[in-house]
Structure 1
């Protein structure tokens, strides 16, 4: 009779060789290592939509040829085309009684659009020259690997939402702008290229109205797209920091008893990236604020001083341009204010956490001595109480977050609670209220001057 051991030894499973050991994380290929999943993306590119947009708008600075094409497109679409079209416009009372005022409004609207395009293109060129690409600009290269899965998933959603926001701002405005330009060039003004620029051109050689329409719409898409792209990139960077603050809020949990050193290290990393973001975008925000303020006040002054009737054909440029500029700029201001108030909220949460930890420790200290029965003698009860008190004191001494470390963390957060700053001024709701009051004062001053005159 064959024993059970012999049967097991003769089974096919025992004859098969043992499975090979799984490779260690250090021996895995880099493409299969989870640590590099967010650093190098081969199959799924999180920034594919942005890269396609950069290529279509001739803003790809990854190669030398792309950089040369980008500068050439900027000079042609942002500077030469608006200047050539403005010089080619002629008033024609036979087409429209408001032809002269339409040309004036068009030139007033073209100046701020070109100025914001110059500021935005210079900002993007500086980013690509110093940082090398979008990944370092958006903190996707290396920095995102230290975050939790919650932050990475949320940032992936914000990337898709940011491109949809860019399309939602650009496409409706493009439709309105194209309709206005069609009415403007074919029903309001006459287009005659200046002889100094086109000495060989005559009105019968080419359909100059159609050429001016296509060139103007292409120039408007380029200038507006560059400006909105920088605004969306800034808001996307702010959303990443908001997700990180929401992640650090979860670290203030009394049950988990986190170490103050871990919270301090995480907040310091976020604080470093906030300072980098402030230094990168402060010139852009201030220049946009000055440009938009001057352009809006100038447009208001020109519109109030003109006695012609206001209609879509002559003031459509001011309407579309103002809507796009204010939408992009206020999107930047609101994003900066949100991240600033998330940073300031950290002090309140840390103070509540400090108080909860301290009260829980005092509650544990008061209830830690074991209650003994009345039949126990005095020596035994004192021995139990002394041993319990010693255990509590040892637990406090070995606790990951002591009173001094928590108090030091709260003090640090109280003095480092700022978010996005502009040369030392924190961009929060108080600064937004100041900007609003300043703009309203200038508007009222211009209205008073116009009414008096």
Structure 2
């Protein structure tokens, strides 16, 4: 009895050695997995995202380090705020109202700086928190990158092309206005006038590009998700498993909720800043006693176009994806109706075929059946499905019905604190803007009288 007891104490537990080996293997496998992820070959989408990230870094959206944060806000304050304010203060001269109105110019700089600051804060926060891939929902581990590889690239290029298309006319308008303004606001030398012209155009272009780039980023995110909703509509024609369809729709709704959560502050603040800027501009233009021309008030047109374009890009992208998400319910209802009708037609076809086969194969039996039983009884006997077939058909029907009811109760879409961004909200925004403009005009007319 002593020898076995000694062996039990001296021998190590057999279960501990595999656990130690497994833990060591897990620690050694982690670096190997990281090396395998780093060894994934670079694709065209990777290069496109890298170029987009370089462009955003150049504009100051990359706040991944303290140095980049300091450089970004230093460039913003110097180029976007201090430079135009100092130039406007130093170039103030008596009799220059034909070329520029100081209060108008300062108001425009303030509104543009506020809108650009909101864009910079909101977008840089999301990019720093999620990275460019998760921010755009094109993560390589999501399983959808290979399917939509070229569509992602094309959509990013189209959105950046849209940025150029909208920025170029505004830049031309601003440049033409500044060149004409220089002819009326005289300086000591032409070199000084050229330097002021370049500084004002650079500052305005920098602020406008930041605000429009933020709208373009939201436009890219929404349009990339539109591809998935279009693909989901095609999935209804190929997939009959309701559980798979519901799981895929839940994934799409999760992405929409994440997009709404990330951009709701930005969309709300952008709408408020643009509205406040338009109201202040309307107050200033209607309350000014002098003559307003394109030369001294042209910046209102250029800045208003940039602000309105940013709002239109955001609302159009949000409305587009909301309509695609809400349209899934109608597509699923049509799919459910077609599946139900085709199931009924196929069951009737099977009944008629089986009855015809019985008559063709055994005419004697059919004659005997006609004489021994009534036609109704014999037909019911042939047409009546089994309990298993009936249960399967009813189960499939109820699953499709539950799926359609689920889609109708969960339409989805981009939301701002519970308000879905669709055509109804766009009409509401339009009438709010119209009411504000009418109110301001009424106040200015009363004050002028």
TM over 0.5: yes
Give me the whole-angstrom Cα distance separating, in 2, the residues matched to 1:399 and 1:243: 33
Give me the whole-angstrom Cα distance separating, in 2, the residues matched to 1:399 and 1:153: 41
Q: Is the Cα contact below 8 Å between 1:92 and 1:188 reproduced in 2?
A: no
TM-superposed CA distance for 1:146, in Å, is 2.8
- For 2:339, the equivalent position in structure 1 comes to 357
- For 2:293, the equivalent position in structure 1 comes to 311
- For 1:375, the equivalent position in structure 2 comes to 364
Question: Once the two structures are superposed, what CA deviation does each residue of 1:339-382 show, in whole Å capped at 9, x if it has no partner?
Answer: 11111111111111111111121222222221221432549999
Q: Is the Cα contact below 8 Å between 2:45 and 2:153 reproduced in 1?
A: no
TM-superposed CA distance for 1:266, in Å, is 1.2
Give me the whole-angstrom Cα distance separating, in 2, the residues matched to 1:235 and 1:400: 43
Higher helix share: 2
Give me the whole-angstrom Cα distance separating, in 1, the residues matched to 2:45 and 2:402: 46
Find the partner of 1:262 among 232, 244, 259: 244
- For 1:243, the equivalent position in structure 2 comes to 227
Give me the whole-angstrom Cα distance separating, in 1, the residues matched to 2:232 and 2:146: 10
Q: Label 1:319 to 1:42 Cα distance change in 2 as closer, same or farther (>3 A).
A: closer
2:417 is the counterpart of 1:409: no
- For 1:436, the equivalent position in structure 2 comes to 430
Q: Is the Cα contact below 8 Å between 1:341 and 1:419 reproduced in 2?
A: yes
TM-score by structure 1 length?
0.79
TM-superposed CA distance for 1:44, in Å, is 5.7
Find the partner of 2:80 among 74, 78, 81: 78
Q: How does 1:97-136 map to 2 (within 5 A)?
A: 97-99=97-99, 102-131=101-130, 133-136=131-134
TM-superposed CA distance for 1:137, in Å, is 0.8
Greater displacement, 139-148 / 271-280? 139-148
Q: Label 1:217 to 1:269 Cα distance change in 2 as closer, same or farther (>3 A).
A: same
Give me the whole-angstrom Cα distance separating, in 2, the residues matched to 1:45 and 1:145: 19
- For 2:442, the equivalent position in structure 1 comes to 448
Q: Is the Cα contact below 8 Å between 1:116 and 1:288 reproduced in 2?
A: yes
How many residues are treated as equivalent by the alignment? 401
Unaligned runs of 5+ in 2: 1-32
Q: Label 1:171 to 1:421 Cα distance change in 2 as closer, same or farther (>3 A).
A: same
Find the partner of 2:257 among 261, 275, 292: 275
Q: Is the Cα contact below 8 Å between 2:242 and 2:400 reproduced in 1?
A: yes
Aligned to 1:250, what secondary structure does the other structure show? helix
Q: How does 1:116-195 map to 2 (within 5 A)?
A: 116-131=115-130, 133-142=131-140, 145-146=143-144, 149=147, 151-184=148-181, 186-189=182-185
TM-superposed CA distance for 1:283, in Å, is 0.6
Give me the whole-angstrom Cα distance separating, in 2, the residues matched to 1:49 and 1:173: 24
Unaligned runs of 5+ in 1: 1-26, 192-202
- For 1:300, the equivalent position in structure 2 comes to 282
Give me the whole-angstrom Cα distance separating, in 2, the residues matched to 1:43 and 1:158: 11
TM-superposed CA distance for 1:52, in Å, is 3.7
Q: Is the Cα contact below 8 Å between 1:235 and 1:332 reproduced in 2?
A: yes
What is the alpha-carbon root mean square deviation over aligned residues?
Answer: 3.2
TM-superposed CA distance for 1:439, in Å, is 0.7
